[in-house]
Structure 1
Amino acid sequence: MTDDSNSDLLRALPYARRYARALTGSQTDGDRLVAEVLRAGLPEMAPRLALYAAITRAAPAPHDASLLTPRQRQLLLLTALEDLRLNDAALVVGLGAEEAGFEIEVARTALRAATVTDVVVIEDEPVIAMDIRRLVEACGHRVVGVAATEAAAVALSEQHHPGLIVADINLGRGGDGISAVARIARTMPVPVIFVTAYPERLLTAERPEPTFLITKPFDPMALAVTTYQAITAGRPPIV
């Protein structure tokens, strides 16, 4: 592998970890999966696509396959969360572009019938909080409260026992989103999606980190598929 390829691979690693964590529903399992495919060797593709392809092939079957097939989950995560072009996502999963496009459309339709749950949003910026609320509700879920501080997030979660939390990382003077989630997780296991403008800073595999992470600004489908994964495959986010 050339020096340029090595550099491309290093740049792609944080996003490969995000993809693997989203597929497995666990930081530990996702990071282990990435380590295993690196040891086993990657297919002959561009480094980023090779990582995604190796992870896709080695990923275990999801716990809940009642709504989306494994291939549909993979395609939605690759295109909506990882922002791959259709042709690249098709190459990663081993399908033709036309078939991959069909599977994505079927999956998007199926997501409209996805599991509905109560959601607490943790976000200190009012405009962003309002936008996240709108997107979450567009996915069919119920937002039971919006918290701008760590203390308010804990109180809301204790009151409503949500099925999902969508949390910003940085709450300004109101505290820290990861700290808020860690406090909530002491008393209730709830899947969490973190949103941040700088995902690579939280995908180093050097410490307990978010399992589900989307990049701001994000499109509705990225939130929809990550929400579905968090609810159906999710586990407590800090392990």
Structure 2
Amino acid sequence: MTETPRQPDLSTQIAENLPYLRRYARALTGNQQTGDHYALATLEALLEDQDVFNSGLTPKSALFQAFHQIWISSGSPVAEADAVTSPEARAQWRLANLTKNTREALLLHSIEGFRAPDIAQIIGGTADEATALLTIARTEMTNSIRGRIMIIEDEAIIAMDIRAIVEDMGHDVTGIARTRDEAVKLARRDPPEMILADIQLADKSSGIDAVNLILKELGDRPIVFITAFPERLLTGERPEPAFLITKPYSEEQVQSAVSQAMFFASTETLQG
């Protein structure tokens, strides 16, 4: 007699999806510490009430829905324009002027791969409403900010593809670097307003090291990392990126991550 495969227990299901919740929370808040705070609050709430996992949703959707219940009920207040001083506060003020739930819908779809019906279950509303939010989000985020972007990527085809995507969005590309040393020299010669970086580079050097050196010399600026192994950077054991794209990526993922990151003028230094 064939036994029915046992389903993973609830703690295992949560653990499997937690890195992706943390990635989403960071992109939504633009900050590792703040994003992780919301993820932790979600876990604490689930210790008290796990009914969301009995609602017929997939484990990942259930976890994200639990997060949004926390996000909606305890979101950080946004300062008035004349009271905004720090770069992050200015970013949050700009974000507050976007249509409600558009960023959430865009990140859920483009970064985490949820479809419109799933997004509706997570944030509320109908699938048609979620689709409308995605359309609005793409327009508002893409048109919000233009900037000068440097690309750190050792694979020529990927570098050219990324360049085409960001230039189509209206950004200027300062150049493409294949190694850590090339990246530092390029940044010194033509300082970018944002960096889009691979993790593993041509000469076995680290994109994280390159970014750290550039930020140390030039100061904070938005960073988007690209990696085939996002779980390695989402352990919670060291400083980690707020904006992370998984290889293989889609055009929409790059567009979304770049647009989101452009709203935030500070990026935490990472440890390679």
TM-score by length of 2: 0.82
Q: Secondary structure at the match of 2:94?
A: coil
Opposite residue 110 of structure 1, the aligned amino acid is E
Q: Identity over the aligned pairs, expressed in percent? A: 39
> 2:268 aligned with 1:237, yes or no?
yes
| RCO higher in structure (CA 8 A, sep ≥6) | 1
8 A Cα contact 1:9 1:47, kept in partner: yes
8 A Cα contact 1:49 1:88, kept in partner: yes
CA gap 1:19/1:70 in 2 versus in 1, 3 angstroms: farther
> 2:48 aligned with 1:32, yes or no?
no
Q: Deviations over 1:202-236 (max 9, x none)?
A: 11111111110011121122111211111113521
The answer for the alignment partner of 2:63 in structure 1 is 51
The answer for the alignment partner of 2:187 in structure 1 is 157
The answer for the alignment partner of 1:109 in structure 2 is 139
Q: 1:1-239 residue pairs with structure 2 within 5 A? A: 3-41=8-46, 44-45=52-53, 46-59=58-71, 60=75, 62-65=92-95, 68-173=98-203, 175-187=205-217, 188-238=219-269
8 A Cα contact 1:63 1:232, kept in partner: no
Q: Aligned partners of 2:268, 2:177: CA distance in 1, in Å?
A: 18
Q: Aligned partners of 2:240, 2:182: CA distance in 1, in Å?
A: 22
The answer for the alignment partner of 2:79 in structure 1 is none
Moved more, 154-163 or 144-153: 154-163
Q: How far apart are residue 159 of structure 1 and its match? A: 2.3
Opposite residue 33 of structure 1, the aligned amino acid is Y
User: What is the number of residues matched between the two proteins?
Assistant: 238
Q: Secondary structure at the match of 1:236?
A: coil
Opposite residue 52 of structure 2, the aligned amino acid is E
For the aligned residue pairs, the C-alpha RMSD in angstroms reads 1.9
Q: How far apart are residue 114 of structure 1 and its match? A: 2.6
Q: Aligned partners of 1:112, 1:121: CA distance in 2, in Å?
A: 19
Q: Aligned partners of 1:63, 1:157: CA distance in 2, in Å?
A: 29
Moved more, 134-143 or 36-45: 36-45
Moved more, 215-224 or 53-62: 53-62
Q: Aligned partners of 1:13, 1:63: CA distance in 2, in Å?
A: 28
8 A Cα contact 1:189 1:236, kept in partner: yes
Q: Deviations over 1:98-119 (max 9, x none)?
A: 1111111122233342310000
Q: Deviations over 1:17-43 (max 9, x none)?
A: 100010111111111211111012256
TM-score by length of 1: 0.92
Q: Aligned partners of 1:38, 1:80: CA distance in 2, in Å?
A: 24
CA gap 1:224/1:29 in 2 versus in 1, 3 angstroms: same
Opposite residue 44 of structure 1, the aligned amino acid is V
CA gap 1:66/1:32 in 2 versus in 1, 3 angstroms: closer
8 A Cα contact 1:43 1:54, kept in partner: no
Q: Aligned partners of 1:138, 1:35: CA distance in 2, in Å?
A: 37
Gaps of 5+ in 1: none
Q: Aligned partners of 2:268, 2:196: CA distance in 1, in Å?
A: 11
Gaps of 5+ in 2: 1-6, 77-91
Moved more, 98-107 or 40-49: 40-49
CA gap 1:154/1:67 in 2 versus in 1, 3 angstroms: farther
